[in-house]
Amino acid sequence: MKAKKQIEAAEFNPETMKRLPRGTFLAAPGETTDPRKTKVRVTLYLDSDVLAYFKERAAQPNAAPYQTQINNELRSLMDNGAPASFDYTHLLENRTLIAALAEKVQAYVAERQ
């Protein structure tokens, strides 16, 4: 069985994708080539409290469905320039962190013996 290929913006190929334009459930092949209007089915694991939050918001009168709300929040991050991935390498120089980790490791080792 072939591994599923991850779809990235640079790899967007409308010829190989099932297209579901916003506001519809079925679209004819080739109907749209705009990635902003193309839905892609993925399996995604969310923390239960995150899902509960969006489902609670969706239960309010006149609210958008929770999946639409999650999509809108992600798009907002994309459009507003989400912060780049955090560089943790400077933590290797943080003596306070290193000391705290050493204490945790010692406690862990003592518990395991």
Supply the pLDDT for residue 98: 92
pLDDT tens string 83-101: 666 777 888 888 999 999 9
pLDDT tens string 5-55: 444 555 666 666 665 555 555 556 666 667 777 777 888 899 999 999 999
Model pTM greater than 0.75? no
Contact partners, residue 64, CB within 8 Å, separation at least 6: 58, 72
Q: Give me the helix-helix angle, 48-58 and 66-79, nearest 10°.
A: 110
Residue ranges per domain, the chain? Answer: 9-85
In angstroms, the CA 23 to CA 26 distance is 9
Task: Give yes or no for residue 107 having a pLDDT over 80.
Answer: yes
In angstroms, the CA 35 to CA 25 distance is 16
Burial class (CB in 10 A: 0-12, 13-18, 19+), 110: exposed
Task: Give yes or no for residue 105 having a pLDDT over 80.
Answer: yes
